[in-house]
Structure 1
Amino acid sequence: GLSNYWGYNVLAWNAPHVPYLASARGLDPMIAWQHARLSLRRTIDQLHREGFEVILDVVYNHSAELDDEGPGYHFRLLDDQFYYRRDNQGTLENWSGCGNTLNFSDQRSWQWVIQSLRQWVIEFGIDGFRFDLASSLLRSDSGDLPCAPSKGLWAAIQSDPILMHCLLIAEPWDLGPQGYRLGDFGPGVLEWNDRFRDGLRKFWITSSVPIAELADCLAGSSAVFQANKGSPAASINYLASHDGFSLWDLLCYSTRHNLLNAEGNRDGHPFEHAFNHGFEGLGDDLEIDALRRRKRSAMLCCLYASLGSLMIHSGDEWGRSQAGNNNAYCQDNELAWLRWQERDDQTLCLVRRLMSLRKQFASLLASQSWWKPPQGSFASRHSQDEQVVMQQVEAGWYRADGSVVSSDHWHDDSVRSFSLWLCMRQSLLVLINAQGQSIQFTLPGDAQMRWHVLIESSDPNSWEVGAGKTHRIVSANISLAAWSVVWLTPSLIS
């Protein structure tokens, strides 16, 4: 049967979910509760010893009491008018999509949230929080519109002496008036960047945006974030999450298939920028499968070449599918489980290689400052015997013929290939070909420069590393396969 598998409709904000602990199943509830608390603390302590931080996903925008026809557990029985937002007709506001919206217009209502967060830090050792529909926490006065993050509940969380040291991640939207607040949560707060997610999907899957949009994604959506964020790390770049299709399903399904959720296929996001490439669902058409795989590899290469903080949905690194279900919140079964026996080891190899390369080029891709335009010629610097030291990453954008991208080309829908050259203490060139045929790239810079090919998204042989593996070396030009991305570095810098 169906269940509240994700725990999204929260009943008790301070309690670990006992069924997650296998050894506690079947025990007396009070004993199981103690087991769960101790087990969770020990698990987090062990993760800390292994060098991991633990981020808890929290939902303070609605409760399990649902709409006016829902059950009464706590707030509804204590003081319904105080704890829930209602419109002028007395109807519950549903800015969460789950029947109700918690009310933070009174400062007294902030305390239980702050106390709940503190408990997770003090008792369990949580390092930070990801706030579901975080715009709801900005609605801290009697009006319907969000406040500035420097006011209200959000400001109280950031200034709390315990919570101020935690990593805070906002899902910067809700369904209420002016609820979309991407880039508005202030310095020091990381934000899920759906602009990045949708930009990459539209560029690679539906071919519906020009290269300017992909370039902005690669630059950490600087058009949105740079004005209010001190660091590009504030942008959490991702291709898919628990909400919506898995990465593989984005390429295998054009529409959601949620009938098993028993809501008439009405639940889940109706439009995902997805495309099935000629056949709806998983199949054995080798040509369609190869095209899907090629696009997935290219998208992953772009994700790992982007400025900001990266997130990959568990299972996407090896090709997980949910059979087209894009809202598996209620599926506590094999549909939503991680089926490790089905993993695609080749795709896992690609992700491991990309992780290694991103670590190698962290000064460029995980920079704490925004990229800036080149100051002079990259090529002349690499032709010198001594490496020029720059204080900030410089980013040059080039066409396939090696010329600089002009203002006319950025928004020309017919232009589907370009390159990004990053330079500081290291140098990295990323070539992108988002069209159905191969193309010859003239490499920017001096024609005598030699380039190591670090990875080719279309060639699984380049994903493997180990003893005896050497990089292919090219100069002047290189042929890029259809729907592919290539990373290169000059031989002087390698």
Structure 2
Amino acid sequence: MSSAAEQEAVAAERATGDGRPAVVVNGARPAPPVPTVPVRPGRPTPLGARFRTGPDGVAGTNFALWAGGAEGVELCLFDERGRESRARLTELTHGIWHGFVPGVLPGRRYGYRVHGRWDPWTGARWNPAKLLLDPYARAVDDPAGNDFGGLPPEVYGHVRDWPEQHVADTVRDDRDSAPFVPKGVVVHDDDDWADDRRPKTPWADSVIYELHVRGFTMRHPGVPEELRGTYAGLAHPAAIEHLVKLGVTAVELLPVHQFAHEDHLLRRGLRNHWGYNSVGYFAPHAAYAASGTAGQQVGEFKRMVRALHAAGIEVILDVVYNHTAEAGELGPTLSLKGIDNRGYYRLQPDARRYADYTGCGNTLHVVQPHVLRLITDSLRYWVTEMGVDGFRFDLAAALARSMHDVDMLSPFLAVIAQDPVLRRVKLIAEPWDVGSGGYQVGAFPPLWTEWNDRYRDAVRDFWRHALPDVREMGYRLSGSSDLYAWGGRRPYASVNFVTAHDGFTLRDLVSYDRKHNEANGEGNRDGTNDNRSWNCGAEGETDDGDVRALRRRQLRNLLTTLLLSTGVPMLVAGDEMGRTQRGNNNAYCQDNEIGWVDWSLRDDPEWRPLLELTSRLIALRHRHPVLRRRSFFSGRAHSADGLRDLAWFTPHGREMTEGDWYAPAASLGMYLSGRDIPGRDEEGAPVVDDSFLAVLHAGPDPVDFVLPGAPWAERYEVVVDTAREEQDAAPAVVHRAGAPVAVPGRSVLLLRVLP
């Protein structure tokens, strides 16, 4: 709008009857007539764009869109030069607008314009000037990547530069957004996955590796440059080789649904790197495709999954169904907001505003049947047609809200529990959101596992010698029975982690006392201040050899603790070889060397021993079922000699009493018995394993730890000693039971009971 004449407003009486006008602004020049295309009635199901051949032999595509409150829907088709043609959908079945367009073949780009009232005060935000992405689009073509140094004003349903900011979102913008927004792509893929063999690793045997598709391979020297940062790059043998040697059983991919970049990042010359800003729940993110964005990304993603499956590695997706990239009332109009704002989003009693349980401006209204259908259709699609093996649900508590409160009998959880496809895959909850009552660790029902932040905090505090006693560590090391031993849940309900994508890397956890997020451009105000970290005597990188050696030892302690704990361990890509983000604990916008894995560390003499120890510990875990139990410890004697499946010891070699749990302590001995492990092996025989004693000592000074005698053991063999840089550099050491063993300060000693 460049003049007062161009800002001419047309006021209409609002349906609410409070006398305030709904303002509509037409700042656009009259557009030339748009060609129309013939359309047949088509079918209301399945939703989305489906290429097919009709009974009369005519090939074309059926389009179906749920827009329950709309007054009209136009399908917009775009040719290779971006020229638009339209087909008005006249068939309406149960809120679904549908039509079959002959001659529309795979690879064709499309979107929708949806007509209806513009009345933000009642939550109505229809604006046919805005091209909308099909929520069911299986591929998205977004060649510009929304990279304009800021989102252009045309992508907003309201006039961003309206002078009265307090009503800015109520003034409709009639400028065409089609040149600036992503478009759906018609895809035809009848792959039946007949040649795929899913690994199907039991939960108790799983070791999860969280990685970013782009960040994992951007600096990998073994991946061809043209494939780095793509699905094809992750599928490359050089990338998979690292995962296989490490021994992980599953990769958990940071979001790969099509996502958008936030305006405030683009204006600062940054981009959303992590991808927690979804806009298309069926489409693999186009920017991660090496082969093209006109549908090729679908096949490339599938080939990546096949390659990982062939290596015995499952694929878990981190999914963001709690909110979308459209943000709040001041956010862009890209899809759901323009299709049916009131139907898709939770609104406040003042319907102009959005209920925000996510901290991202909006929350999907999962209680609505069509929203629940969108999510479950998406999940089933990724399992049955894209080959994935499970999901980690970002801010899962927001999905479990019924009207307002988190409800473990909510429609979302009930539907998942009875769905014949979804109840069979791996389901991981991030069991909290930012709303009132949103912290739900330990509360999700059977079938679900959970990110256990209680584990993260306890282990961090123990190794920085900040726990008042060892009660918390006892629970966390043995499977967190205080959180999960109910309703038939098992120890693998706890996904144990010390670090995740959100926060410090493992190396930064022992190198920084404070976050250093200046590169994010927010004055270091973003990111948590509760890091529970310790820099070992110097802030950041240092040439002090003693500090560096202590940090490496602390990394060995943290990784050893994680991989010896009962539950499902989760590692973060690069932690096994000392990756750093230079103290940034919120690198969501760092699509650069800060956020990418540094593969030079793999061959660095300083960090290679850490990688070797990690692989060794994972292999040890795979060999010994006592380290990956399928049921909780009982703590009771199972034989006449009084030997129990789990016992705890003080440095004096005696079993801990109740008073010992409450006393200040820096040391803890955990005995795991391999006798009579619950369950049967593949041949039906009782499971029998070695027994182990793990000694964890977080104090700065050495301690003499007396090894428990009969009935626990007669001799012990040292398997892991984190005081040593090289675990295989010395011959095996054997100690007699009842003898004191010198345990250096800040170290872990894992001993195997000898027959």
Same fold (TM over 0.5): yes
Measured in 2, the distance between the counterparts of 1:130 and 1:209 equals 33
Aligned-residue Cα RMSD (Å) equals 1.9
Please tell me whether the aligned partners of residues 465 and 666 of structure 2 are also in contact (alpha carbons under 8 angstroms): no
2:288 counterpart of 1:20: yes
Measured in 1, the distance between the counterparts of 2:400 and 2:289 equals 34
Q: 1:154 aligns with which of 403, 413, 426?
A: 413
Please tell me whether the aligned partners of residues 349 and 463 of structure 1 are also in contact (alpha carbons under 8 angstroms): no
2:306 counterpart of 1:45: yes
The residue aligned with 1:69 is 330
Unmatched runs of 5 consecutive residues or more in structure 1: 25-31, 383-392
Please tell me whether the aligned partners of residues 491 and 631 of structure 2 are also in contact (alpha carbons under 8 angstroms): yes
Measured in 1, the distance between the counterparts of 2:294 and 2:504 equals 34
C-alpha change, 1:463 and 1:216, in structure 2 (3 Å) is farther
2:669 counterpart of 1:419: yes
The residue aligned with 2:382 is 120
Pairing 1:84-123 to 2, within 5 Å after superposition = 84-90=345-351, 91-123=353-385
Q: Normalized per residue, which structure has more strand?
A: 2
The residue aligned with 1:249 is 508
2:705 counterpart of 1:437: no
The residue aligned with 1:7 is 275
C-alpha change, 1:160 and 1:377, in structure 2 (3 Å) is closer
Please tell me whether the aligned partners of residues 344 and 368 of structure 2 are also in contact (alpha carbons under 8 angstroms): no
Measured in 2, the distance between the counterparts of 1:154 and 1:164 equals 10
Q: How many residues align?
A: 465
2:344 counterpart of 1:83: yes
Q: 1:338 aligns with which of 597, 606, 624?
A: 597
2:405 counterpart of 1:145: yes
Please tell me whether the aligned partners of residues 464 and 698 of structure 2 are also in contact (alpha carbons under 8 angstroms): no
Unmatched runs of 5 consecutive residues or more in structure 2: 1-268, 676-687
Could you say what secondary structure the match of 1:86 adopts? coil
Could you say what secondary structure the match of 1:488 adopts? strand
Q: How far off its partner does 1:54 sit?
A: 0.8
C-alpha change, 1:204 and 1:106, in structure 2 (3 Å) is same
Please tell me whether the aligned partners of residues 507 and 575 of structure 2 are also in contact (alpha carbons under 8 angstroms): yes
Measured in 1, the distance between the counterparts of 2:583 and 2:527 equals 11
What letter corresponds to residue 487 of structure 1 in structure 2? L
The residue aligned with 2:587 is 328
The residue aligned with 2:611 is 348
Larger radius of gyration: 2
Describe the superposition over 1:369-405 as per-residue Cα deviations: whole angstroms up to 9, x where unpaired: 1012141789x579xxxxxxxxxx7100010001111
Please tell me whether the aligned partners of residues 298 and 484 of structure 1 are also in contact (alpha carbons under 8 angstroms): yes
TM-score (normalised: structure 1): 0.90
2:743 counterpart of 1:480: yes
Stretches (4+) displaced over 4 A:
none
2:655 counterpart of 1:396: no
Describe the superposition over 1:109-135 as per-residue Cα deviations: whole angstroms up to 9, x where unpaired: 211111111111122111111100001
Q: How far off its partner does 1:236 sit?
A: 0.5
Q: How far off its partner does 1:213 sit?
A: 1.1
The residue aligned with 2:716 is 451
C-alpha change, 1:270 and 1:94, in structure 2 (3 Å) is farther
Please tell me whether the aligned partners of residues 243 and 326 of structure 1 are also in contact (alpha carbons under 8 angstroms): yes
Please tell me whether the aligned partners of residues 202 and 209 of structure 1 are also in contact (alpha carbons under 8 angstroms): no
Please tell me whether the aligned partners of residues 705 and 743 of structure 2 are also in contact (alpha carbons under 8 angstroms): yes
Does 296-305 or 469-478 show the bigger shift? 469-478
Q: How far off its partner does 1:13 sit?
A: 1.2
Pairing 1:52-63 to 2, within 5 Å after superposition = 52-63=313-324
Please tell me whether the aligned partners of residues 237 and 303 of structure 1 are also in contact (alpha carbons under 8 angstroms): yes
Aligned-residue sequence identity (percent) comes to 38
Measured in 1, the distance between the counterparts of 2:749 and 2:378 equals 47
TM-score (normalised: structure 2): 0.60
Could you say what secondary structure the match of 1:298 adopts? helix
Please tell me whether the aligned partners of residues 456 and 463 of structure 1 are also in contact (alpha carbons under 8 angstroms): no
Pairing 1:137-286 to 2, within 5 Å after superposition = 137-139=399-401, 141-142=402-403, 144-148=404-408, 150-286=409-545
Measured in 1, the distance between the counterparts of 2:344 and 2:667 equals 53
C-alpha change, 1:171 and 1:134, in structure 2 (3 Å) is same
Please tell me whether the aligned partners of residues 190 and 236 of structure 1 are also in contact (alpha carbons under 8 angstroms): yes
Could you say what secondary structure the match of 1:364 adopts? helix
Describe the superposition over 1:412-440 as per-residue Cα deviations: whole angstroms up to 9, x where unpaired: 12x11120111123211101111011111
Describe the superposition over 1:221-275 as per-residue Cα deviations: whole angstroms up to 9, x where unpaired: 1111112452111110111000111011111111111121122222212211112
2:633 counterpart of 1:371: yes
Measured in 2, the distance between the counterparts of 1:288 and 1:61 equals 43
Does 62-71 or 367-376 show the bigger shift? 367-376
What letter corresponds to residue 698 of structure 2 in structure 1? A
What letter corresponds to residue 251 of structure 1 in structure 2? V
Q: How far off its partner does 1:277 sit?
A: 2.4
2:552 counterpart of 1:293: yes
Could you say what secondary structure the match of 2:450 adopts? strand
What letter corresponds to residue 521 of structure 2 in structure 1? A
Measured in 1, the distance between the counterparts of 2:645 and 2:498 equals 25
Measured in 1, the distance between the counterparts of 2:524 and 2:728 equals 39
Please tell me whether the aligned partners of residues 255 and 271 of structure 1 are also in contact (alpha carbons under 8 angstroms): no
Measured in 2, the distance between the counterparts of 1:209 and 1:129 equals 36
